[in-house]
């Protein structure tokens, strides 16, 4: 209980920080006079009051955070913050005549903050501007991680951020100390994120989008969330130029932001390409895009230039777990949507805003498999796993193997749960993989004409659980279920 009290105190601070995000839709609502500003104001004050009350009640809980506290805090944060985000969504949608049940509204908030991009809201073009801004802005702050942003503030309040960083950071980078101070690291990563986001918004605007469209699509491009304020997604614009801009920034967002941070500090931009994970990520995206384009051309779906345009855009969009669409790609030759869905599990880097397994884990797994094959021939040879000129510690290899085992088990268990509801196997596989990888491409990814709005409440909760597990990278949540975690 003392552990939970310490975590609840910090969680109260996080709620106070999160409530400030509602100033964005509040300002938009006042500027465009859509009548929803009171909802954002009341919601923000309520969330801040709850957070401040938690902090005040537990203000005497002053102890150093241990790794277990970081894991508990991150897990509870990703359960509670969507609940806070869903309050203004619920009130605003009810106000505009589109009320949703708690199941659907929580799903929508989880989808936004985990940058999945799935939605149960129909008629998005008709929603008030401030509401669409709130939905897309949630993806942007969830992309880099609201907790990483909080790490820049929590040390000022007497809460260390190192354990939080290790629990929240994706993949092996959690053990990398980029600067002597975690606050400096968090500020640096968010500064780079903000800088590239600004350039992305200006590029969309210059490419022909209206200013607010450019802002909202920047939010969902840089976060690799893919939520669009238009039901037709990128088909609404029908612009090769805008699709090209989106491809560029989706590729940038799929790489490790710590590389940009280090490159800025040391003025060594060539080091970006020398990083094996970044190089593999870019090659997988471009190579996959060319392969899909070739298939679309050979199969006669499109002429060469159109095949390159649509093939490259949708490959990068799905593989980076973004989920933008400009055509009905699930009905392309069946190899393509299956290939893209599988690619979405590996084609983003650790430290990026994407979901999935992460490319660095796949590289380590491939190199470990190669080492085991060589050991069959040379059982006594010393053959360390080397990545980027450095020897990979065996503990990291074991961690990757454990993650892959739990990842596979999670996908199987969630698929079996959906099969209990009489969903066909292909649809169940599509739904689960889209959720766990935070891709949000929808139940119709494999050609089945089905949307999230047609799912039952039980099926929606399976999707919600999949998104949360994917954002927590599964192991953090599974660790909480272990009896050893709660023993002293």
Q: Is 244 within 8 Å of 222 (Cβ atoms)?
A: no
Question: For 61-67, what is the mean pLDDT?
Answer: 64
Least confident segment among 155-169, 343-357, 417-431, 455-469: 155-169
User: Dihedral of CA 327/328/332/338: which sign?
Assistant: positive
User: What is the predicted pLDDT for the residue at 304?
Assistant: 94
DSSP string computed for 141-158: HHHH-HHHHHHTTGGGGT
Mean of the per-residue pLDDT values for the chain? 85
* Residues shown for the chain: 488
Residue 101 φ/ψ, nearest 5 degrees? -70, 165
User: What is the predicted pLDDT for the residue at 178?
Assistant: 47
| More confident: 33 or 159 | 33
CA distance 463 to 452: 9
Q: Is 197 within 8 Å of 222 (Cβ atoms)?
A: yes
- Using alpha carbons, select from 326, 370, 362 the residue that is nearest to residue 344: 362
- Using alpha carbons, select from 86, 264, 301 the residue that is nearest to residue 190: 264
User: What is the predicted pLDDT for the residue at 8?
Assistant: 83
CA distance 176 to 215: 33
User: What is the predicted pLDDT for the residue at 57?
Assistant: 85
Question: For 154-182, what is the mean pLDDT?
Answer: 50
State pLDDT tens for residues 27-58. Answer: 999 999 998 999 999 999 999 999 999 888 87
CA distance 241 to 178: 36
User: What is the predicted pLDDT for the residue at 171?
Assistant: 55
Q: Which of 136-150, 304-318, 418-432 has the highest mean pLDDT?
A: 304-318
| More confident: 416 or 67 | 416
Q: Is 42 within 8 Å of 73 (Cβ atoms)?
A: no
- From the CB of residue 107, how many other CB atoms can be counted at a distance below 10 Å? 26
Q: Which of 248-252, 261-265, 335-339 has the highest mean pLDDT?
A: 248-252
User: What is the predicted pLDDT for the residue at 156?
Assistant: 45
CA distance 348 to 88: 31
pLDDT over threshold 70, residue 169: no
Provide the pairing of β-strand 390-391 with 386-387.
Answer: antiparallel
User: What is the predicted pLDDT for the residue at 419?
Assistant: 94
pLDDT over threshold 50, residue 180: no
Q: Is 223 within 8 Å of 115 (Cβ atoms)?
A: yes
| More confident: 91 or 8 | 91
| More confident: 265 or 217 | 217
Q: Is 41 within 8 Å of 26 (Cβ atoms)?
A: yes
pLDDT over threshold 60, residue 16: yes
Helix-helix angle 67-95:457-471, to 10 degrees:
140
pLDDT over threshold 50, residue 157: no
3-class secondary-structure state, position 223: coil
Tally: H helices and E strands in the chain: 22, 2
User: What is the predicted pLDDT for the residue at 271?
Assistant: 72
C-alpha neighbours within 13 Å on the C-beta side of residue 425: 1
Residue 98 φ/ψ, nearest 5 degrees? -130, 60
- Residue % of the chain over a pLDDT of 70: 87
Q: How far is CA 314 from CA 70, 216, 235, 465, in A?
A: 37, 19, 12, 26
Residues 6 or more apart from 219 whose CB is under 8 A from it? 136, 137, 139, 140, 197, 225
Q: Is 269 within 8 Å of 336 (Cβ atoms)?
A: no
pLDDT over threshold 90, residue 112: yes
Q: Is 463 within 8 Å of 417 (Cβ atoms)?
A: no
Least confident segment among 30-34, 136-140, 179-183, 250-254: 179-183
- Residue % of the chain over a pLDDT of 90: 48
User: What is the predicted pLDDT for the residue at 161?
Assistant: 47
| More confident: 142 or 179 | 142
b/e map 28-62, b = 16+ CB within 10 Å: bbeeeebebbebbbebbeebbebbeebbeebeebe
Least confident segment among 141-155, 269-283, 362-376: 141-155
State pLDDT tens for residues 181-196. Answer: 566 767 777 888 999 9
pLDDT over threshold 90, residue 381: no
User: What is the predicted pLDDT for the residue at 37?
Assistant: 95
Question: For 389-409, what is the mean pLDDT?
Answer: 87
Q: Name the pTM for this structure.
A: 0.90
Question: For 235-247, what is the mean pLDDT?
Answer: 95
CA distance 165 to 70: 8
Question: For 377-395, what is the mean pLDDT?
Answer: 83
| More confident: 290 or 162 | 290
State pLDDT tens for residues 423-478. Answer: 888 888 989 999 999 887 766 665 555 678 888 999 999 999 999 998 887 877 77
Least confident segment among 94-98, 342-346, 389-393, 459-463: 389-393
Q: How far is CA 130 from CA 25, 101, 137, 216, in A?
A: 5, 21, 10, 10
């Amino acid at each position: 209980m003392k552990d939970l009290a310490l975590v609840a105190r910090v969680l109260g601070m996080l709620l106070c920080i999160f409530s400030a995000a509602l100033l964005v839709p509040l300002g938009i609502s006042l500027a465009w006079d859509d009548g929803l500003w009171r909802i954002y104001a009341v919601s923000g004050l309520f969330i801040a009051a709850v957070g401040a009350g938690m902090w005040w009640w537990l203000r005497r809980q002053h102890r150093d955070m241990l790794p277990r506290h970081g894991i508990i805090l991150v897990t509870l944060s990703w359960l509670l913050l969507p609940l806070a985000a869903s309050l203004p969504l619920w009130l605003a949608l009810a106000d505009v005549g589109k009320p949703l049940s708690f199941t659907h509204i929580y799903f929508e908030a989880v989808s936004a903050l985990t940058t999945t991009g799935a939605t149960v809201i129909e008629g998005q073009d008709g929603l008030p501007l401030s509401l669409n801004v709130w939905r897309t802005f949630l993806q942007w702050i969830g992309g880099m991680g609201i907790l990483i942003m909080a790490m820049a503030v929590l040390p000022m309040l007497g809460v260390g951020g190192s354990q939080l960083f290790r629990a929240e950071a994706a993949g092996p980078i959690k053990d990398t100390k980029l600067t002597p101070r975690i606050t400096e690291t968090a500020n640096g990563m968010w500064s780079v994120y903000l800088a590239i986001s600004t350039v992305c918004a200006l590029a969309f605007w210059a490419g022909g989008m209206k200013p607010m469209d450019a802002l909202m699509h920047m939010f969902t491009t840089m976060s690799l969330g893919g939520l669009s304020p238009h039901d037709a997604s990128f088909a609404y614009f029908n612009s090769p130029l805008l699709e090209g801009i989106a491809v560029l920034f989706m590729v940038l967002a799929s790489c490790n932001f710590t590389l940009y941070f280090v490159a800025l500090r040391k003025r060594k931009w060539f080091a970006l390409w020398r990083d094996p994970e970044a190089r593999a990520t870019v090659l997988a995206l471009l190579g996959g895009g060319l392969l899909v384009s070739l298939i679309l051309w050979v199969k006669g779906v499109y002429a060469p230039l159109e095949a390159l345009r649509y093939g490259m855009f949708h490959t990068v969009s799905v593989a980076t777990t973004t989920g933008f669409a400009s055509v009905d790609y699930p009905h392309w030759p069946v190899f393509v949507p299956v290939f893209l869905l599988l690619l979405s599990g590996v084609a983003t880097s650790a430290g990026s805003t994407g979901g999935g397994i992460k490319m660095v884990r796949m590289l380590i797994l491939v190199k470990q498999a190669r080492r085991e094959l060589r050991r069959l021939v040379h059982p006594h040879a010393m053959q360390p796993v080397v990545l980027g000129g450095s020897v990979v510690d065996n503990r990291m290899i074991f961690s990757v193997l454990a993650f892959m085992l739990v990842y596979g088990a999670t996908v199987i268990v969630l698929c079996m749960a959906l099969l209990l509801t009489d969903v066909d196997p292909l649809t169940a596989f599509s739904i689960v993989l889209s959720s766990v990888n935070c891709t949000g491409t929808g139940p119709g990814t494999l050609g089945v004409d089905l949307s999230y709005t047609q799912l039952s409440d039980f099926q929606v909760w399976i999707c919600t659980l999949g998104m949360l597990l994917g954002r927590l990278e599964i192991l953090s949540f599974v660790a909480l279920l272990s009896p050893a975690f709660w023993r002293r």
